[in-house]
Structure 1
Amino acid sequence: MKYRTIGTDPRTRREVSVLALGAMLFGSVTDEKTSFAILVIATKLGARPLAPGTSYVDHAEGLSAKVIRESAERSRERLGTDRLDVLYAHIEDPKVHVRETVEGFAALVDEGTVGVLGVSNHAVWRVERARALAAAAGLPGYEVLQYAHSHLRPRSDVPGDLFPDGSLGHAGPDLLGYLRDEPGLTLVAYSPLLKGAYTRPERLPSDYDHPGTPARLKVLHAVARETGATVDQVVLARQIGDALPVIPLVGVSSVAQLEENLAAVDLELTPEQRARLDAAH
């Protein structure tokens, strides 16, 4: 297995696998026996609905210091561990001042119950504000950014559930530019395989239905034929080999899918193949 260093703060820096496994469907779509056969652990907080019939959009628990501490404690209890290696702020909480959130997460790191701090589905300016406040106070801040990112690109004019500008969780040009300017950050790319849409086109989300998609798919399939790999393996290998620090976060529902994805770690794309994949419009 290949590894990548995440974090620049000596209090939190560590080596991690270049491929991460998402477990959102374990215990529901994926049965218990299969889940334990392929299990790895990750956790977030802040988006738990507070009442039946509500959602993370209209009635989430938020990112107050109290919620951060209590949610982290519940996660450790359920997972049977004294320490969470990575803890994410799942979605934004405009009702709580960012300083309270920063200090709430930092306290857990200082106590040794959390390792690396991460953030997901936040506007870039909010990420930067939180990191700046943490740096100014000498506190550990966000070092891992988790956003949707894949070979195909969504339309930018489709409104999202969280951001009116349509940037729901997607690693758009602003976020990717931010990563280039801040080399100490790592992007964990969730839904890199678009929930199976590369092999089952009927699953492709509607916001990917635009003129640029066929061209990018054509190059992807061509590179897959050249390498003898599957299209999913090419998508993952391109992210793993990116100049930006990207860790694909894959979700699987079988051991066979896990093995297919793990094989992407050893797939070496040529510079010419990577350039073609990137240049397709």
Structure 2
Amino acid sequence: MEYTRLGNTGTRVSQLCFGTWRFGREAGDIVETDRQEAHELLDAAWERGINFIDTANVYGTPNGTSEAYIGEWLEEYDREDFVLASKVYFPFDGRGEPGPNDHGLGRKHIRAQIEGTLERLGTDYLDLYYIHRWDDESDIVETMRTLNDLVREGKVHYLGASTMAAWQLTKALWTSDVEGLERFDVTQPLFHAGYRDDVKDYLDVCADQDIAVCPYSPLAGGFLTGKYERADPDDPKAFEGPEGARGDIYDSFQDYYLSERGWHVLAEIEAIAEDLDATPAQVALRWLIEQPDLTCVPIVGARTVDQLDENVGAVDLSLSDDQFNRIVSARYADDGERWGHRQ
């Protein structure tokens, strides 16, 4: 495993981050990753050199299950070997029906949630604390002051921001600079090879400010693994895929990940994978790792150790400039127009 500095922080992390969104998550009658499976995957991630683990207070059914699984697992390890990230924003169902202050980025909710997160993880501090979304109802000054206090108290080392618009990220950075507060050092947008241009402004801010990018869904919900086939040349949302995969479970899969752009990018990724004797997933992840203008650490999820091994194989790949640019070019038609993502 190779390690990289996380943006402009002093912390080094593995080139891949292990995501735990599926831990304890119920989808219908299915628990996607139960406690034993979660611990086996965490063991495997650590054995393969992954020291960066991503979770959130609302992951799992009920909320907090993912953090609890990780905390139990960490009892057998040295906490200092790991870089732990969690998040705050969404309503937390651990107290029953959410009250009026049980969501968002106001001081009361942040303060309550950091204590619960630390308790479930069995640790005194987080290496990285993300705001999970932007909160229009909370003053960004109050939010950043509260987060700043958590850093000053030693409960959090660095701050991060998940999905938001480029102007919102810029406003938060400006607020921190003007008020003399800690600023965001890491971001977590939806970002994959078939989607980049839709977050270009956001990524430009990250590159300019030396902010690390840890994209979620780097394989487009599994679409860029190549396990789905197009079922209708006239309809990019028509597909065939394996039973039990995300496309089979979640109705939103088609709207988020299936598009003309996605199918063209996937075809190029598959061709490059064949040339390199690699898998499409490995090529798609390597394309992110090799982003030229910013530190990019993809968050990979896995339901099996075999899937994790495949993802880790991306660390050993190298793309030529031509291969990297072929994936970029696949987003555009012959006339230079960019294929649509959402249609």
- TM-score (normalised: structure 2): 0.70
User: How far apart in 2 are the matches of 1:73 and 1:52?
Assistant: 18
SS of the equivalent of 1:222 reads helix
Q: Does 1:246 align with 2:296?
A: yes
User: How far apart in 1 are the matches of 2:279 and 2:18?
Assistant: 18
Q: Residue 7 of structure 1 contacts residue 116 of structure 1 at CA under 8 Å; is this kept in 2?
A: no
Q: How far apart are residue 276 of structure 1 and its match?
A: 0.9
Q: Residue 49 of structure 1 contacts residue 59 of structure 1 at CA under 8 Å; is this kept in 2?
A: no
Q: How far apart are residue 235 of structure 1 and its match?
A: 0.4
**Structural mapping, 1:258-269, within 5 Å:** 258-269=308-319
- Specify the alignment match of 1:187 in structure 2: 213
Aligned Cα RMSD in Å?
2.2
User: How far apart in 2 are the matches of 1:207 and 1:36?
Assistant: 30
Equivalent residue letter for 2:318: E
User: How far apart in 1 are the matches of 2:102 and 2:323?
Assistant: 43
- Specify the alignment match of 2:321 in structure 1: 271
Q: How far apart are residue 131 of structure 1 and its match?
A: 1.1
Matching residue within 152, 170, 177 for 1:110: 152
Q: Residue 98 of structure 1 contacts residue 130 of structure 1 at CA under 8 Å; is this kept in 2?
A: yes
Q: For residues 212 and 24 of structure 1, do their structure 2 counterparts lie closer, same or farther at Cα, with a shift above 3 Å needed?
A: closer
Q: How far apart are residue 251 of structure 1 and its match?
A: 1.0
Q: Residue 86 of structure 1 contacts residue 118 of structure 1 at CA under 8 Å; is this kept in 2?
A: yes
- Specify the alignment match of 1:223 in structure 2: 272
Q: Residue 15 of structure 2 contacts residue 315 of structure 2 at CA under 8 Å; is this kept in 1?
A: yes
- Highest RCO, 1 vs 2 (Cα 8 Å, sep ≥ 6): 1
Structure possessing the higher radius of gyration over alpha carbons: 2
**Structural mapping, 1:71-110, within 5 Å:** 71-110=113-152
- Specify the alignment match of 2:91 in structure 1: 48
- Specify the alignment match of 1:168 in structure 2: none
1:82-131 CA-partner distances (Å, limit 9, x unpaired): 11011000011111100000001010111111011001112221111111
Q: Does 1:237 align with 2:300?
A: no
Q: Residue 221 of structure 2 contacts residue 257 of structure 2 at CA under 8 Å; is this kept in 1?
A: no
Matching residue within 130, 133, 140 for 2:172: 130
Q: Does 1:2 align with 2:2?
A: yes
* 5+ long unaligned stretches in structure 1: 157-170
* 5+ long unaligned stretches in structure 2: 26-31, 43-52, 55-84, 229-238, 240-246, 248-252, 333-343
Q: Residue 223 of structure 2 contacts residue 257 of structure 2 at CA under 8 Å; is this kept in 1?
A: no
Counting matched residue pairs gives: 259
- Specify the alignment match of 2:34 in structure 1: 31
Mean Cα displacement is larger for which, 258-267 or 38-47?
38-47
SS of the equivalent of 1:37 reads helix
Q: For residues 190 and 65 of structure 1, do their structure 2 counterparts lie closer, same or farther at Cα, with a shift above 3 Å needed?
A: same
Mean Cα displacement is larger for which, 123-132 or 142-151?
123-132
User: How far apart in 1 are the matches of 2:7 and 2:289?
Assistant: 17
Q: How far apart are residue 175 of structure 1 and its match?
A: 0.9
Q: How far apart are residue 38 of structure 1 and its match?
A: 1.8
1:200-249 CA-partner distances (Å, limit 9, x unpaired): 32435234444333321221111000001100000001111111211100
